[in-house]
Amino acid sequence: MSMFGSMTVTGLAVPAEGAATPVTWHVADEVAVALEYNGRSHAVMMATPEDLEDFAIGFSLSEGIIADAGDVERVMLRDSPLGRVVSLTVDPLRLLRGALRSRSIEGRSGCGLCGVDSLGNAVRDPKRVSARLAVDPAAIAAAFRALPGQQPMNQLNHSVHAAAWCDPSGAIALVREDVGRHNALDKLIGALVRGGTDPAGGFVVLTSRCSFELVQKAAAVGVPLLATLSAPTALALDLARQAGMTLAARAPRDGVVLFQDTPA
């Protein structure tokens, strides 16, 4: 039985001592989601089948397929025996040159670049972020504390990531969840632009480590600050410096580490 991005299953709880007992457990849904542009299949991503319209728009922007959400004329969802299909209709003149590069295999939920057809497509130069946002580290710490209470899907299955958009005070305005951290960010980006919110006006908090593709995606829509529970990789830091973006990570005792932009 499916329930808000989760599947209800039965299991057997086996304690360290004592008798095993039957339990009902919620496990996260993870299905193949095919993205089509003007009838042409581009990528198949493993994702949680919630907020797929947001996902499609966010993915299109963060991967440099379109420059503006308004370039998408229509988004349609349909079921497939193997998963879900999201079909986008875009004016061919609005598709960015070379954006629909081929992907030869599926994108797994833990990977943001599976299937790209060359090493040159794996790590692309990030877009330069023009916005500057002054954020008190206390605001970032407050967002980290508040985020678990705004993850309804994770409260059921305890196994999905979340991406949250926060105003400069640290108040969480919007959250999206998915089994994949990059999918959660794409869903958040899509929800923001579909709702008319400029991503550059706040910062993003993610329940994951900061990998390079998250920096690429956030920079693509002008996010000035990206905060993650775990520290960034060296490549993520390098790309953030190129983009002019600040990275942050949670530190012990409710602290925050800021990785400031250094001119490339």
- For residue 115, pLDDT beyond 80: no
User: What residue segments make up the domains of the chain, in order of their start?
Assistant: 31-122, 137-259
Fold observed for domain 31-122? Ubiquitin-like (UB roll) (3.10.20)
Quick one: pLDDT band at residue 99, thresholds 50, 70, 90?
low
Instruction: Tell me the CA end-to-end span of the chain in Å, nearest whole number.
Output: 51
Contact yes or no for 131/122 (Cβ under 8 A) = no
Full-model pTM: 0.89
- CA distance linking residue 259 with residue 197, whole number of Å: 26
Quick one: pLDDT band at residue 124, thresholds 50, 70, 90?
confident
Phi, psi of 23 (to 5 degrees): -135, 155
b/e per residue, 139-155, with b = 16+ CB within 10 A? bbbbbbebbeebbebbe
Quick one: pLDDT band at residue 117, thresholds 50, 70, 90?
very low
- Of residues 9 and 86, the one with the higher pLDDT is 86
Domains 31-122 and 137-259 share a fold: no
Fold observed for domain 137-259? Cytidine Deaminase; domain 2 (3.40.140)
C-alpha distances in Å from residue 166, one per residue of 1, 49, 212, 257: 33, 24, 21, 18
Catalytic residue among 111, 114, 166, 210: 111
Rg (CA), the chain: 19
Q: Which residues contact residue 176 at a Cβ distance below 8 angstroms, ignoring those fewer than 6 apart?
A: 51, 54, 162, 163, 184, 185, 187, 188, 191
One-letter amino acid identity for 233?
A: T
Quick one: pLDDT band at residue 1, thresholds 50, 70, 90?
very low
111 classed as catalytic:
yes
